[in-house]
Amino acid sequence: MAILDSYVGEKIAATKVTEVKVVVNAKQSTPPPTIAMQPPRITGISVFEVGVEYITGCGEHYNVFANDTALTFIFKMFGTLSKERYRFTQYSDPNEFYQEEVQGGDYQFQAKLPRGLYVLSVITSGLDGESNEVFRILEIEDSMDQAIICQSFDQKRNVSLANILSFSPPSLKEVGFRIFSESGRFHFVKWMKQDVCFSPEIIPHPEIPSIVTANVNSFIVKVISIEDGKSFEVPTANTSVCLPKAELNTNFLYNLVIYGSNKRYIHRDRHIILVGNEPTMNVVIKLVKPLSSVGRSVISSPEETVLTSTCNQVIFPRNTVTQWKLTISYPNSTFWKLSDKEMQKYTGGRTRSTLVISPQLLLQLPRETYLIVCLIIQENVSKITKICEQYTVNMPEKCDSCILNAPNMIDDFQTVCVNCNCTSSLGDTFEFYTMTNLGTQSIAFGDSPSFCSYLPASDDAVTPCIRSLPGSMVIVRKCFHQIKFIPKTMDDIESQLDALLSDKNSLLEEAILSKNPNLISATVQVVSTQVNNFMDSVHNQLGQSDVDAKRNKVGVVTGKLVEAIEGISLAQNESLLPLTSALEALANTSKDMPYYTVNRLGTMLQKLPPTLKQILPLSSREDMFLISQRLMQFQLLLLQGMSLQYKDPLPSLMKRDLKTLDYDTDIDSERKFHLPIASRDPILISSSSERFLY
C-alpha cells in the first residue's frame, strides 16, 4: 500500500533501499530572463533505452520495457535546477524501492530493474530549496512478454525525443470514488452475515483531465477495523470489490482506503462504513450548531459543535440506555477513540442528551480528518443499536502574525492600533476587544484584522486582544501586552467632560453623526468610564449641594451618550457585540442618570427581542452567551441605579412623586429586588443566560 501512498503524496514506509544505476540526461529548456530564477517546474518526463534517440517503450503510454535493457530518463523543466532525485518504488512490494540523487547535468551508471510495476517519481530542488515532484507509471517485463506487448500496439517508432509527453498543470481537486452508489464518504451497510461488495466509481470533475481518470479498473482496498485495529487487504483485477464476511463484525466501523489505477495514474480515497443490523427505531443524529455546518457534512468553524438525536417515538422505550461515542479518523488512516475521561474533557460526558464538542478538540485535528459521532442505544442485554454520522473537519488556518502599536501607558482618548498580517477572505469577521479583571469589552468589529480605536480606562491594566469570529477562513486569537492609563484627578476628568459638552472636543458629536457602531461603542465606553470615575470622586470628596450640581452636568453627558447609542442599527449582527458592550458600560452610570434617559435606554431594550431572534442564531454559542449576559447585566444595572436613586434621588426627581414615574421598576418596593440586584450575583446571571440559550 505504501507504493500507492507515495503517489498520492503520503510518506513511504520503506525498510529497504537498493541503489540502481541509470543514465540521467537532464534537458533544460532555455527560460526567458523573467523566469530565470523561478523554482524548478517539471513539464514532461519520459523513459528511453540507453543510446536510443526515439521512443522505444511499448504499450499505450510507451512505458513498458524489457528487464535486460538499461534505461535513460529525461525530463523537461523550467526554472533554476539545483539537484534531482529519482525514485522507483515497486507496486508489488511497498518495502522495496530504488533511488538515486544527482546534482544536475548528466549522470551515468548501469543497472537493470527486476520485472514488475513501478512508480517513478522525479523530485527536483531549486537553489532556494523549493521542490517539485512528478510521477510516471513504469512497467518492466521479461523480454518475451515485452515483445508480445509491443506487437499489440501499432505504435510510431520514430517519435522524436522532442515530443516528450508533457504533464498538465496539477489539479487542486482530488479524484474521489463513489461506492454503494451513494454520495458522501460514510455508509451504513445492513449486514446479514454476507460478503460486503461494491464497485468503486470515479467521481468526475471538470478540472481533472479525462486521461487521468480513464479506464481505472484495477483496485486494492485496505480495510482497517476502527474497533480493534485489525486490518486486511482486498486486491482485485476488476471493478468489483468484496469484503469477506469472515473478516467483519456487527456494529463495527471500518476505514476503507481505496486505491484505483489505470497503470498510469493511481488514485486514493477514504470511506467509513458501519456494518450493523437494521435499527428498530428511526433515530437520527442532527447537528444544530454551528449554523454554517447545519445540513452539511463539513465542520469548519472553530466553535462549540452541538449535536442532538431525534426519534420517531416520543421517548425511548423504558430501561433504554444511550451513550455517545466519538472517533477521530485521521487522513493517514490512523484513528483515535475518545476514552471516558477524554469525552468528559471535550464534550462533558457520554450520557448527556445533547453532545457539545469543544473547539479545543476540533482545533487539534488536521484538515480532512473525519469526526465520527455515534449514538449507542441499548434496549436490553442482547439488543444494541448503533447510529453514526460522519463529518469532515476542515478548520481554518491559524495566523499569529499580529502586532499592537501602543505604549505601556496611555492617556484617555489616545488611539491604539492593532494589525494582523493575515490573508482574509470575503465573509471573514474580526473583533477587537479588551480584557480586564471584570470581563471583556468589545471595542470594534470589522471584516479586516486591522483596527485603530480608543480604549476604555480602567483602574487596573487592560489587555487588548483580537480574534476572528466563527465562520472566518482564518483563525486569529491574539492578546498583547497589558496597558495602564495615566491617572487623572477629579478636576482633570471634569475638564474633559466640559470639553465634550463644548466645542473644544468634538469627539462625541462626531461619533453621533458617524452612525459607525465601532466609533460609537468605543466613544460611549470611554466617556462612560470617565463619568463613573468622576462621580465616584465627587461622592467621596464633595458635599451634597456640590454633588447635585455635578450630577446635573453628568446627566447632560449621559443624554448625549444615549443619543449616540440610538444611532446604532439593531438589525445588523455586527452591531451586537459593540452595542451590548457599550450598553453595559453606559448602564454603570445609571445611578447618576436622569430617569427619562433611563427610559430611552429601556425603549431600546424593548426593541431588541424581535431583532435578537433573527440575528442571534447567526452568532456562535460563545457569543450568544456573552451577548445575553451583557444584556441581562445591562438591565440589572439600570434597576440597581434606579433603586439607588430611590434612596438618593437626583435633583430632577426630588420634587416628583416617584409612584408617577413611567418606569417599570417598582422602585418603591425595595424588598422586591434589593438582594439579587444589589449583589449582581454572577451565578444568577450565568444560569439565566444558559436558560436563554436553550
CA gap 518, 564 in Å, rounded? 11
Hey, is 33 helix, strand or coil?
helix
**Whole-number Cα distances in Å, 355 to 347, 374, 426, 590:** 6, 11, 31, 41
Place of cell 485496505: 222
If you average pLDDT over residues 304-323, what whole number do you get? Answer: 75
**Whole-number Cα distances in Å, 392 to 2, 288, 374:** 24, 16, 15
Q: Note the pLDDT tens digit of each residue in 526-543.
A: 898 888 888 888 878 877
Q: Are strands 463-468 and 477-479 parallel, antiparallel or unpaired?
A: antiparallel
Q: How many CB atoms lie within 10 A of CB 561?
A: 28
**Which is higher by pLDDT, 594 or 188?**
188
CA gap 566, 605 in Å, rounded? 11
Residues 402 and 424 in one domain: yes
Secondary structure element (H or E) that encloses residue 178, with its range: strand 176-178
If you average pLDDT over residues 542-549, what whole number do you get? Answer: 76
Point out the least confidently predicted range of 60-74, 376-390, 522-536, 583-597: 60-74
Give the pLDDT score at 206: 74
Judge contact between 146 and 58, C-beta under 8 A. yes
Residue 338 clears pLDDT 70, i.e. is over it = yes
Point out the least confidently predicted range of 52-66, 336-350, 367-381, 552-566: 52-66
Task: List the one residue out of 135, 121, 150 whose CA is nearest residue 49.
Answer: 150
State yes or no: cis peptide before 366, omega within 30 of 0.
no
Give the pLDDT score at 12: 28
Residue 138 clears pLDDT 60, i.e. is over it = yes
CATH number at residue 112: 2.60.40.10
Q: What is the mean pLDDT of the chain?
A: 76
Q: How confident is the model at residue 129 (pLDDT cuts 50, 70, 90)?
A: low
Structurally, the chain folds into a number of domains equal to 5
Domain boundary at 395, 427, 455, which? Answer: 395
Say what the pTM is.
0.57
Residue 10 clears pLDDT 70, i.e. is over it = no
**Which is higher by pLDDT, 596 or 47?**
596
Residue 32 clears pLDDT 90, i.e. is over it = no
Task: List the one residue out of 393, 260, 380 whose CA is nearest residue 336.
Answer: 393
Domain boundary at 163, 190, 212, which? Answer: 163
If you average pLDDT over residues 4-9, what whole number do you get? Answer: 43
Give the pLDDT score at 177: 93
CA gap 114, 407 in Å, rounded? 70
Residues 122 and 182 in one domain: no
If you average pLDDT over residues 242-259, what whole number do you get? Answer: 92
Residue 337 counted as domain residue: yes
DSSP 54: B
Task: List the one residue out of 415, 422, 466, 475 whose CA is nearest residue 445.
Answer: 466
Q: What are the strands of the beta sheet with 305-311, ordered from one edge?
A: 283-289, 305-311, 354-357
CA gap 104, 111 in Å, rounded? 20
Residue 686 clears pLDDT 80, i.e. is over it = no
Residues 264 and 312 in one domain: no
Residues 401 and 388 in one domain: no
If you average pLDDT over residues 18-40, what whole number do you get? Answer: 45
Q: What angle do CA 7, 9, 10 make, to 5 degrees?
A: 100
Residue 128 clears pLDDT 70, i.e. is over it = no
The share of the chain scoring above pLDDT 70, in percent, equals 71
- Domain hosting residue 346, numbered range: 283-395
If you average pLDDT over residues 252-258, what whole number do you get? Answer: 92
Residue 81 clears pLDDT 50, i.e. is over it = yes
Backbone φ, ψ for residue 86 (5° rounding): -105, 135
CA gap 120, 148 in Å, rounded? 23
Nine-digit cell string for 4: 500507492
Q: How confident is the model at residue 578 (pLDDT cuts 50, 70, 90)?
A: confident
CA gap 132, 77 in Å, rounded? 10
Give the pLDDT score at 585: 87
Point out the least confidently predicted range of 449-458, 592-601, 653-662: 653-662
Backbone φ, ψ for residue 493 (5° rounding): -65, -40
Nine-digit cell string for 395: 478548520
Q: Note the pLDDT tens digit of each residue in 500-524.
A: 888 777 788 888 888 788 888 888 8
Task: Return the top range by mean pLDDT from 44-53, 172-181, 395-404, 537-546.
Answer: 395-404
Residue 171 counted as domain residue: no
Give the pLDDT score at 629: 84
Residues 105 and 248 in one domain: no
Residue 9 clears pLDDT 70, i.e. is over it = no
CATH number at residue 416: 2.60.40.730
Give the pLDDT score at 8: 46
Residue 555 counted as domain residue: yes
Residues 638 and 626 in one domain: yes
Residue 181 clears pLDDT 80, i.e. is over it = yes
CATH number at residue 305: 2.60.40
Q: Give the largest CA-CA distance in the chain.
A: 116
Residue 19 counted as domain residue: yes
Residues 7 and 156 in one domain: yes
Task: Return the top range by mean pLDDT from 87-101, 599-613, 677-691.
Answer: 599-613
Residues 159 and 213 in one domain: no
Judge contact between 45 and 75, C-beta under 8 A. yes
Give the pLDDT score at 609: 77
Q: Note the pLDDT tens digit of each residue in 188-235.
A: 999 888 999 999 999 887 777 676 788 888 888 889 999 988 888 887
Strands (E), 430-533: 430-436, 439-446, 450-453, 463-468, 474-475, 477-479, 484-485
Residues 416 and 448 in one domain: yes
Give the pLDDT score at 243: 94
Domain boundary at 216, 248, 276, which? Answer: 276
Residues 403 and 302 in one domain: no
Residues 416 and 307 in one domain: no
Point out the least confidently predicted range of 119-133, 429-443, 660-674: 660-674
Residue 451 clears pLDDT 50, i.e. is over it = yes
Residues 585 and 501 in one domain: yes
Q: How far apart are the first and last CA of the chain?
A: 48
Residue 345 clears pLDDT 90, i.e. is over it = yes
